[in-house]
């Protein structure tokens, strides 16, 4: 992953309860490749990551969903985590951002339970995606073609199943941003 992403900006959309490694793993890879990363959330201040079912670290929120401008970002990353994903999917600001980014055909990278936001934003119909296995029915019922693979790229959508897939996820995200 030696591609330079200098000048690229990536937004991570989260609320409390995101799977911490699904933020920190891609964030570190993007920053090492030269990208600037910002954490966006519904509220200013900090958001709390989780290590599966246990609270973990706090992270600074750079902007709220309402303060964010889609033209400021070259891609969006949606970490999973059940609590985060169940909350963020209902947030109209988060839905608005992913719809704008999608409309500009910029990469939207989603891992684990993060696909719930794409379902609520009505972006999965006719798309091939993967996710954590418990989201399979939700994605299929929303019109997606679900596959059990480490990483799937369908147009501007990049999806992965779980933390074990983060290296493949990072590689595809960096590749998409390098294009």
Based on the residue annotation, tell me whether 113 is a catalytic residue of this protein: yes
Cβ atoms of residues 5 and 177 within 8 Å: yes
Query: Burial letters for 113-129: b for 16+ Cβ neighbours within 10 Å, e otherwise?
Result: bbbbbbbbbebbeebbb
Candidate list 52, 62, 96, 113, residue with the active-site label: 113
Q: Is residue 62 flagged as an active site residue?
A: no
Cα distances from 122 to residues 1, 42, 55, in angstroms, run: 32, 20, 30
Nearest residue to 20 (alpha-carbon basis) of 63, 57, 62: 57
Tokens of 179: 């294009």
CB atoms within 10 A of CB 138: 16
Question: Would you please indicate which residues are annotated as catalytic (active-site) residues?
Answer: 112-113
């Amino acid at each position: 992953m030696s591609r330079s992403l200098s000048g690229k900006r990536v937004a991570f959309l989260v609320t409390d309860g995101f799977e911490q490694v699904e933020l920190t793993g891609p964030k570190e890879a993007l920053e090492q490749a030269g990208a600037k990363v910002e954490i966006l959330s519904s509220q200013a201040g900090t958001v709390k990551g989780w290590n599966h079912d246990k609270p973990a670290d706090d992270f600074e929120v750079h902007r709220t969903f309402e303060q964010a401008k889609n033209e400021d970002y070259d891609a969006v990353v949606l970490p999973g985590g059940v609590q985060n994903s169940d909350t963020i999917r209902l947030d109209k600001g988060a839905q608005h951002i992913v719809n704008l980014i999608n409309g500009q055909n910029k990469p939207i990278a989603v891992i684990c339970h993060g696909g719930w936001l794409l379902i609520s934003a009505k972006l999965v119909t006719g798309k091939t995606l993967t996710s954590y296995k418990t989201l399979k029915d939700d994605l299929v019922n929303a019109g997606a073609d679900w596959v059990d693979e480490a990483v799937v790229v369908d147009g501007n959508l990049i999806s992965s199943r779980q933390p074990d897939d983060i290296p493949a996820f990072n590689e595809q995200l960096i590749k998409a941003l390098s294009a």
